[in-house]
Amino acid sequence: MRLMASFFRAYPGRTSIMLIALLLSGIAEGIGLSALLPLLNIAVGADASSALTGVAMPQQSDFERNVLEMFSSVGIAPTLGNMLWIIVLGVALKSVFLLVAQRQVGYTAAQVATDLRLEMLRAILLSKWEYFLHQPIGKLTNALATEAQRSSSSFVNGATAITFLIQALIYGGIAFALSWRASLVAIVAGTLVIGLSHFLVRITRRAGKRETRLLTSLMSNLTDTLQSVKPLKAMSREHLADQVLAHDANQLNKALRRQVLSGALLDSAQELMFTGFICLGVYAAIGKYQMDLPMVMVLVVALGRAFSFFGKVQKQYQKLAQGESAYWSLKDSIAAANDAEEALDGGAEPAFKRSIRFDQVNFDYDQHPVFRDLSLDIKAGALTTLVGPSGSGKTTIIDLTIALLRPQGGTIWLDDTPLNEVDIKHWRKLIGYVPQDTVLLHDTIAHNITLGDPTLSDQDTERALRAAGAWDFVSNLAMGTQTMVGERGGKLSGGQRQRIVIARALINKPRLLILDEATSALDPESEAAVRQTMESLKGQLTILAISHNRGMVQAADYVYQMEGGSARLLNEQDQSALTQ
């Protein structure tokens, strides 16, 4: 069981406690069961105490004699009351130890799901931007939700299988002690049953792998559909998305039905065949080996319980096989993200006192050339605006500046240091970034600005709001900075949302503020407000903006025209013509 071995290596302390508790639970149950044969002999009138006189009675077995000698060694007389107390005590101890084991299983299962989710999340957040771009959001969502939960359930199923296995071995051991010949006949036959029905486990494992693939596909398609549901409905094309989702859902339903059918077949086949082989063991015990009725009754109990638990082991293993593909899929995703981890720490400490300079930079994206010998200069303290048609590489320049992407040729200089020799983590702490899509969290204005950073105070929030030109409207709200913004900021206007996002970018006092089409979705009045904010920040920090807005071009100190994989610095006359 490679999956359970992986869990044991990951949680050695928890699983050791679980195994010890399960073993003690099984031993306690065995002690209680060992008193059953003397109890039955007493009930039918046999002189159980004669076993201690040295004269064996015909109806007494070596097993019963050894049990009575053991009880006698600790001062327990073979009376009806004592045997009943031993049985009750055995059940009580079993329940206590089983409670400890089940608690460890539950706690560990919860920790498994939590650790897998955090491991996946951290691996993705630390991965290279190129890797992240190629990952469907639905796949990541499925990994964090269903795959982590199915992995946790597989651990519970595996631990439960171990619980049943220990109990089956205890009962099987007692049955062997009573009559190893009769028990051997029954257990060999039972093993044959398990072997013959194992093909149902293989069917379930294949169906589980198919479930994992289909859930990933379904979640990916569902996420994409929900993100584009408005244009689909606007063009009456939602039925096309429904067809794709319905296909995945129906295929997933088939995989789940196969799992249900194989599980039901396993239950039915095991119960019938195990009952038959228990009867075979009883027939051998009475008809061939001439065992007494009390011993046969105990043998039936022991074999019945042993077979029952062996059957439960296989059923739990079947459930484990159903979900184990989710665990390995999640671990593969984590490993792939770890392999794509960014090298952030190390290198020179960035200062950014003079400029960011692109020197003969080449960059290809998926083997498609974007830049060839690109050169431009972003002056510290100035507002530089990039203009040009869609696909000309404006956003790529920003991604290269942030070091989300690395050039295939040429050098990007931060002052006099190549950017690839700079401590990137420190460099990004000097950057404030305002994206085109103003996505706000369904939380307060203050939380959307600080993002929960405990080192930032209310004064820092107010300072950032003032710098972003947002303090006037925020302070006039009934709850001020504690106002809830609604889902995706829906309670605020577009201009208000944009200025909140600008305040978020300014909260840590960046050296470089990047605006990536930050005014493209705003009305003229909101655009003018943002432009005024940028003009007020000129000289306090460096601003790099992508914009087609006339006001942002007019406010810029430098404007670069992007076209054909190159950048041309516009003079004042060209800038004037651009704003006409």
Query: Which pLDDT tens digit goes with each residue over 173-202?
Result: 777 777 777 677 667 776 777 777 777 778
Quick one: average pLDDT of 8-14? 88
Instruction: Kindly state whether residues 278 and 177 are assigned to the same domain.
Output: yes
Residue 258's domain comprises: 2-339
Instruction: Kindly state whether residues 116 and 230 are assigned to the same domain.
Output: yes
- Domain membership flag for residue 435: no
Instruction: Kindly state whether residues 488 and 370 are assigned to the same domain.
Output: no
Predicted pLDDT at 244: 66
Predicted pLDDT at 484: 83
Nearest CA-CA partner of 361 in 426, 432, 416, 420:
420
- Domain membership flag for residue 436: no
Instruction: Kindly state whether residues 105 and 170 are assigned to the same domain.
Output: yes
- Domain membership flag for residue 232: yes
Quick one: average pLDDT of 332-346? 84
User: What's the one-letter identity of residue 15?
Assistant: T
**pLDDT greater than 80 at residue 9:** yes
- Tens-place pLDDT, residues 242-267: 676 777 777 777 777 777 777 777 76
Instruction: Kindly state whether residues 298 and 366 are assigned to the same domain.
Output: no
Instruction: Kindly state whether residues 415 and 447 are assigned to the same domain.
Output: no
Confidence of residue 520 (pLDDT cuts 50, 70, 90): low
The domain that contains 302 carries what CATH number? 1.20.1560.10
118 or 517, higher pLDDT: 118
- Burial of 251 by CB count in 10 Å (0-12 exposed, 13-18 middle, 19+ buried)? middle
Instruction: Kindly state whether residues 327 and 182 are assigned to the same domain.
Output: yes
Identity of the highest mean pLDDT range in 29-43, 52-66, 254-268, 375-389: 375-389
How many domains is the chain partitioned into structurally?
Answer: 3
Instruction: Using the 3D structure, point to which of 313, 339, 365 is the last residue of a domain.
Output: 339
Instruction: Kindly state whether residues 396 and 320 are assigned to the same domain.
Output: no
CA 477 to chain centre: 39
241 or 436, higher pLDDT: 436
Quick one: average pLDDT of 208-232? 73
Instruction: Kindly state whether residues 239 and 331 are assigned to the same domain.
Output: yes
- Domain membership flag for residue 173: yes
Q: What percent of the chain has pLDDT over 70?
A: 78
Nearest CA-CA partner of 424 in 366, 348, 536, 370:
348
DSSP 380: T
d(CA 470, CA 274): 75
Instruction: Kindly state whether residues 499 and 532 are assigned to the same domain.
Output: no
- Tens-place pLDDT, residues 117-165: 899 888 888 888 888 877 777 788 888 888 888 889 989 998 888 888 8
d(CA 105, CA 116): 16
- Domain membership flag for residue 570: yes
Instruction: Using the 3D structure, point to which of 339, 363, 386 is the last residue of a domain.
Output: 339
Q: Could you write out the DSSP letters of every residue in 270-339?
A: HHHHHHHHHHHHHHIIIIIT---HHHHHHHHHHHHHHHHHHHHHHHHHHHHHHHHHHHHHHHHHHHHHHH
Predicted pLDDT at 537: 74
Confidence of residue 394 (pLDDT cuts 50, 70, 90): confident
Instruction: Kindly state whether residues 349 and 285 are assigned to the same domain.
Output: no
The domain that contains 360 carries what CATH number? 3.40.50.300
Instruction: Using the 3D structure, point to which of 505, 520, 549 is the last residue of a domain.
Output: 505
Predicted pLDDT at 366: 73
For residue 480, give Cα distances in angstroms to 122, 282, 397, 444, 485.
34, 81, 37, 9, 11
Instruction: Kindly state whether residues 92 and 233 are assigned to the same domain.
Output: yes
- Domain membership flag for residue 174: yes
**pLDDT greater than 60 at residue 572:** yes
Per the prediction, the chain carries an average pLDDT of 78
**pLDDT greater than 60 at residue 551:** yes
d(CA 480, CA 473): 9
- Domain membership flag for residue 18: yes
Q: Could you write out the DSSP letters of every residue in 543-558?
A: EEEE---HHHHHH-SE
- Domain membership flag for residue 54: yes
**pLDDT greater than 80 at residue 29:** no
